[in-house]
Amino acid sequence: MKVNTRPWLLGGALTAIAALSLTACGGSGSAETSSSPATEQASPAAASGGSLTVWVDANRQPVLQEAAADFEKQSGVKVNLVIKDFSKIQEDFLRQVPTGKGPDITIGAHDWLGNLVNNGVVQPVELGDKASEFQDVSIDAMSYEGSTYGVPYATENLALLRNADLVDEAPKTFDDMIEAGKEADTEFPFLVQVSDVGDPFHAYPFQTSFGAPVFGTDDTGAYDPADLQIGNEGGVEFAKWLAEQGEAGTLKTSIDADIAKEKFVSGDSPFFLTGPWNVEAAEKAKMNLAIDPIPTAGGEEAQPFVAVQGFFVSAKTENLLAATEFLTNYIGTEEVQTELYEVGNRPPANKAAFEAAKSDETIASFGEVGASGVPMPNIPEMAAVWEFWGVAEAEIITGKADPAKRWKQMTSDIEKAISK
Amino acid sequence: MTKTAPEAPPRHSDETKRKLSPAAQRFANASSTSLGSILIKIIVIAIVDATAVFALFTAIGREAWAIASVIAVITVLINVVYFKKGWLPAKYLLPGTIFLLIFQVFVIGYTGYISFTNYGSGHNSDKADAISALLQSNQERVEGSPGYPVKVYSGDDGLAMLIEREGQQLIGDGNDALAPVEPASLGEYTELTFADLLGRQQEVTSLKVPVSDNPADGTLRTSDGRTAYQYTSSLKYDEAADTMTDQKTGLVFKDTGVGAFTADDGTQLMPGWSINVGFDNFARAFTDSSIRGALLSVSVWTFAFALLSVASTFFLGLFLAIVFNDIRMKGRKIYRVISILPYAFPAFLGGLVWAGMLNKDFGFVNQVLFGGADIPWLTDPWLAKFSVLWVNLWLGFPYMFLVCTGALQSIPQELSEAATIDGARPFQIFRLIKLPLLLVSVAPLLISSFAFNFNNFNVIYMLTEGGPRLEDAGLNVGATDILISMVYKVAFVGSQRDYGLASAFSIIIFVIVAIISIISFKQTKALEELN
């Protein structure tokens, strides 16, 4: 508690910055909306081959830097890469596109899509026949209400990391795994991040193994927000299972992402349910690493969420042609997707690039587990689910709430929020 | 210890002038007289003017008339005030006034403005944007239609597309549907190269060539200048009636004044646009039962948090100040330095470190201090509240310690000596003499400290993120959320943002803090008059 002697000034300045970035010439936004062909021709940027502004995160920037330079040589279009914090991109994109200040293209995750479309900040990209060059799950994920938005470049899903020095066989079921983990005599039989607010993303494979997906699907395979499946009998069974695991100490809300990673890397557990983002740390620790399918807890197949990353095109770009060219005829190609996978360590969305990347065991294993996964829902109704889901799980795991009752309450909360 | 009387202030007379160094003397002469200072003035104002003119042109270029006129007025004002002889107070007040207007008045005004709109998820732009986004995303490629390799030509009537279908070349432009064309008659057109296409991107991508004279067949469009696809639009916008019609179902969506095209059965087309909703956000804050409940419990906790934080830090700080001020205490300087340390550590990091230390299973507190106990410091609603207050005490007492040390040292020792002679006990001296005198100088700081804690986002967010979550609230708020962290969550957490509601909350907080400050400062004045 530091007391600022002039809190108003400081507070005012901070809010001013926030408000200015919000307004970001709120009055001027309309200038970009109705651009007549005449003014377009007159604009100097358009005359000189144009330029593209692309938002990327720091990890992807180095590869795209090269791709952008190549693309500039080929097409004469300059690509400006702006490095953004991945977690801030969605929000910034939503706020800046309407003002006309957003980028032409942004990197993003497919589950933002429903929200982006509902706010009118992205536009469909026609992949045409090229759509067949991408893995089906990635195209499905990038589709919303019948149109494809953006170009996918990588898929991402959970798998079970195993320290093969401690346990030499992949477990079939959750109970097998715990048993093997106990025999290994480490501090934890199994690790997964939960954290105080719950982590439904990481718990989802176990939930599906009880036959409780979040939403049902319609005839086209798209998620149907009216068909909420999470509260079915399997869901209640899953809730009871969570309570049991909480009591047994196999799931702990005190374990967050950092702790889980650190404990696994230091050899305190033979099993770690996580994504490709933690593989590097495990490899650095020189451990004998194996990547296994996720064991079932409820008897059915344990399906993780598959998240697809890709590039979206702004609804207000003035360089649609260059943007489409860059994405479909450049980023979507096997060469660039292969390069992207080499830094990102995620299975590429391009089929040919994926086949080539399969020589890497990690990619092949993650890809295999992902093949049995389901795309994370990209409908905006999902936001309401996330909001109540994790908290309920955390409360059940800590034993604070009766599992069946709490799970039903969560379901009705979600229903209420969706119907609002 | 008797205190020596302060030195008499130096007499302000010619003596001081004579003490100036030669360089300072020269500077003083230069600035009081003409040439040098005028030159500096001209340069500074020239820079300001140049910047202003640049900003002005940018604003005009973007057709931001309001911003442009504000810039113009301010620039003229600056020039007039600084070139005009006299008007000395204005010369000093102007910069401050301008910053006050921009950073305070504008911000409060803008927040107020937002609080009367439905700006937020699904309503984040204007109507024109919403219409174009709706039309854009409802372009559907005709199922099973092939992609046509396309060449773009420039002709007298603007751009045209040339495709080949079944061995026949067809050309069409924005007005004329595709029609067969003889290669010979292509002479009146020029083919565009890729570079040309890039130069006319807007034209190319907005070119829609009717496939046939029947509009139901849709149009050909290309988004890369190489391949064209056949599209139909399921939505049709009728400009005159201001309605959207779904051509498949025949459903008509009207602008019913709720910020989105709405059908008679209540279904809405998203995106909508942001509109003025009057006092709706304020009304929702007080009438929507789920929001009202959250707002009430959060408000109560905010007051409790701010009051308890001020009280606990003040009394601990005061206690330490008294102890370390006592000459019988050995090593006072070292203790003082140690007590100030938490103040030197950023509160932001302090919160994070404490969050780690209070982790139920792995934290230092449970593991080492409580011998491996499972105390849910941050996840039990009451313990979390306690933890927040505790951490805030740790972060905040050094400030109070500093302030109280300073204030105590300014209280003449003679007073307590006299009281001791009169037979007062130490606690009486403290309660009846020192504390009232101390409060005169410290009270305004306590009030500002209260205002600060009222909006102490750092501690709450870094330690608990407001959690544990309140189960029955309709909003994403937790047991330790204070008003400002609740506003943050409403505005920026999750994907359903509601900037309008968040702004309304901000205005409510502003009013509360303002009222408290006014009342408290009035009280302080009374305290001063007492002495």
DSSP sequence for B67-100? HHHHHHHHHHHHHHHHHSSS-HHHHHHHHHHHHH
> How many CA atoms within 13 Å lie on the side-chain side of B15?
4
pLDDT tens digits, B94-105: 889 988 988 888
Cβ distance A16 to B362 less than 8 Å, yes or no, reads: no
The 10s digit of each residue's pLDDT in B255-276 is 888 888 888 887 888 888 888 8
Condensed to tens digits (0 to 9), the pLDDT of residues A284-302 reads: 888 899 999 999 999 899 9
Query: E-strand spans in B227-280?
Result: 227-233, 235-238, 243-246, 252-255, 261-262
Q: What is the CA radius of gyration of chain A?
A: 23
Pick from B137, B361, B456: CB nearest A124: B137
pLDDT, tens digit, 9 for 90 and up, residues A42-56: 333 334 567 899 999
* Distance between CA atoms of residues B404 and B408, nearest Å: 6
Taking an 8 Å cut-off on Cβ atoms, the answer to whether A98 and B124 are in contact is: yes
User: Mind spelling out the 3-state secondary structure of B14-57?
Assistant: HHHHHCCCHHHHHHHHHHHCCHHHHHHHHHHHHHHHHHHHHHHH
Nearest CA in chain A to B202: A318
Place of tokens 């409820």: A298
Gap between the Cα atoms of B142 and B211, Å rounded: 11
CB atoms within 10 A of CB A5: 11
| Contact check, Cβ <8 Å, B223/A126 | yes
CB contact under 8 A, B452 and A3: yes
Cα(A108)–Cα(A96) distance, integer angstroms: 15
Cβ contact B492–A91 (<8 Å): yes
Q: What percent of chain A has pLDDT over 90?
A: 36
Structure tokens belonging to residue B83: 């070139």
Q: Which residues of A touch B362 (CB under 8 A)?
A: 254, 259
**Which residues in A lie closer than 8 A to residue B469 (C-beta atoms)?**
197, 391
Which of B67, B201, B521 best tests the A interface by mutation, with the highest count of A CBs <10 A? Answer: B201
Q: Does A384 touch chain B (CB under 8 A)?
A: yes
Of B103, B158, B497, the CB nearest to A12: B103
Output B26 or A232, whichever has higher pLDDT.
A232
The pLDDT, as a whole number, for residue B495 is 64
**Percentage above 70 pLDDT, chain B:** 92
B326-353 per-residue burial string, b: 16 or more CB within 10 A, e: under 16: eeeeeeeeeebeebeebbeeebeebbee
Please give the single-letter amino acid code of residue B212: S
Q: Can you give the pLDDT at residue A28?
A: 36
Average pLDDT of the residues in B80-87: 85
pLDDT at B336 over 90: no
Contact call for residues A144 and A115 (beta carbons, < 8 A): no
With H, G, I as helix, E, B as strand and everything else as coil, classify residue B241.
Answer: coil
pTM of the model: 0.75
Flag whether residue A123 sits within 8 Å of chain B, measured between CB atoms. yes
**Which residues 65-84 of A have a C-beta within 8 angstroms of B?**
75-77
Neighbour tally for B263: CB within 10 Å: 17
Burial class (CB in 10 A: 0-12, 13-18, 19+), A226: exposed
The mean pLDDT of A162-190, rounded to a whole number, is 91
Average pLDDT over residues A378-393: 88
pLDDT of residue A244: 94
Could you tell me what percent of chain A has a pLDDT over 70?
88
- The answer to whether the beta carbons of residues A177 and A294 sit under 8 Å apart is no
pLDDT of the residue at A402: 92
Round to whole Å and give the CA distance between B275 and B259.
6
**Poorest-confidence range of A183-187, A224-228, B492-496?**
B492-496
For B12: left if phi > 0, alpha if psi spans -120 to 50, otherwise beta; the answer is beta
A179-188, A331-340, B488-497: least confidently modelled range: B488-497
Which residue did the predictor score with more confidence, B496 or A278?
A278
Provide mean pLDDT across the span A169-192. 92
Contacts of A117 in chain B (CB under 8 A): 137, 270-271
Instruction: Quote the tokens at residue B328.
Output: 């019988």
**CA of residue B184 relative to chain centroid, distance:** 63
Task: Tell me what the mean pLDDT of segment B354-370 comes to.
Answer: 88
Instruction: Tell me what pLDDT residue B163 has.
Output: 82
- Percentage helix, strand, coil, to 5, in chain B? 60, 10, 30
Per-residue confidence (pLDDT) for residue B192, from 0 to 100:
80
pLDDT of residue A8: 41
CA angle A355, A359, A361 (to 5 degrees): 115
pLDDT at A19 over 70: no
Question: Is the CB of A252 inside 8 Å of chain B's CB atoms?
Answer: yes
Measured between alpha carbons, how far is residue B181 from residues B164, B434, B508 in Å? 10, 102, 69
- How many C-beta atoms lie closer than 10 Å to residue A358's C-beta? 15
Cβ–Cβ gap B347/A2 under 8 Å: yes
Beta strands in B471-530 (DSSP E): none
Weakest mean pLDDT among A316-330, B158-172, B323-337: B158-172
Q: Do A196 and B467 touch (CB under 8 A)?
A: yes
pLDDT at residue A59 is higher than 50: yes
